[in-house]
Amino acid sequence: MEYTHLGRTGLKVSRLCLGTMNFGPHTAEADAFRIMDRALELGINFFDTANVYGWKVGEGVTEQILGRWFAQGGGRREKVVLATKVFGHMGDWPNQQRLSALHIRQASEESLRRLQTDHIDLYQMHHVDREAPWEEIWQAMEVLVGQGKVLYVGSSNFAAWDIAQAMAAANTRHFLGLVCEQSKYHLMTRAIELEVIPACRAFGLGLIPWSPLAGGLLGGALQKAKEGRRADEKQQAEIEKCRPQLEAWEKFCQALGEKPADVALAWLLRNPVVTAPIIGPRTMEQLDGALRALEIPLDDSALQKIDGIWPGPGGEAPKAYAW
């Protein structure tokens, strides 16, 4: 396993991040335990979850699964850089969502209880909340950091100007501020190359791409069109919408002698701003297979061919659309 610093921090995390969103709804608890044990065996020390995962309002199903896994001992908690999130709808009362100081306090306490731990290594704001002032958000986060309940703070689904605002407000408080941004980023969705990635580089934030395989479309969707999720109507419609590109993509990967999913991850890992794409294996085989991405070399010729299939926005703003 390869490791890198999380943004500008001294914290080292694996180049692949284990996403746990499938644990509960799609992966049984016993299988989730085996996947997490195997992840540690492979050297993956970066685990990502969220209080809303499990999709039963207020229950934090996935966090509970991780908590029971940690409770088995064996150094599991000590070996893991644990990331969870706050923002989502966790109850029917007005302050059981978003980023008020009240909700941040309540949500953090509930996550700690479910995860059966005394601290969260990386506490991520799951979405920007433009109704909450940064003075309130940072004050709440500073309290958690001061109490030792949170070590680092990150963002998710922020625009570049949200990152800039957050960092400016943190600087006035002499607070570390954001250390990473978790964004939707894959070959089919490259809009963050315009401004979010430059902002991450400028402010020293690590980038954690979520949905790196575009919900499976980049993982050999044409080959598996009759299997699992790819068989439903919505997925079939997505496939038909971009069939020519998918055909070119899978042909390119076949010529490389590599699996499409591995090449898609390898492409992300080539970006120096990217810390670790989030992989969300539902099976042990998917977890083991993802490590191949760390070994695939993509030269300039290969990158040009990939850009020809999945063109980005043309570079960074403003040069992407102006002089």
Does 229 reside within a domain?
A: no
Q: Domain containing 283 — which CATH number? A: 3.20.20.100
Does 238 reside within a domain?
A: no
pLDDT given at position 227: 58
| Local confidence pLDDT in tens for the 323 residues of the chain | 999 999 999 999 999 999 999 999 999 999 999 999 999 999 999 999 999 999 889 899 999 999 999 999 999 999 999 999 999 999 999 999 999 999 999 999 999 999 999 999 999 999 999 999 999 999 999 999 999 999 999 999 999 999 999 999 999 999 999 999 999 999 999 999 999 999 999 999 999 999 999 999 999 999 877 555 546 778 888 899 999 999 999 999 999 999 999 999 999 999 999 999 999 988 888 899 899 999 999 999 999 999 999 999 999 999 999 99
Does 295 reside within a domain?
A: yes
Range(s) of the domain holding residue 83 = 3-219+260-299
Number of domains in the chain: 1
Does 290 reside within a domain?
A: yes
7 Rama sector, left if φ>0, alpha if ψ -120 to 50, beta otherwise: left
Active-site hit among 3, 53, 123, 185? 53
Reply yes or no on whether 53 is catalytic. yes
Does 70 reside within a domain?
A: yes
Does 266 reside within a domain?
A: yes
pLDDT given at position 226: 56
Does 241 reside within a domain?
A: no
Does 255 reside within a domain?
A: no
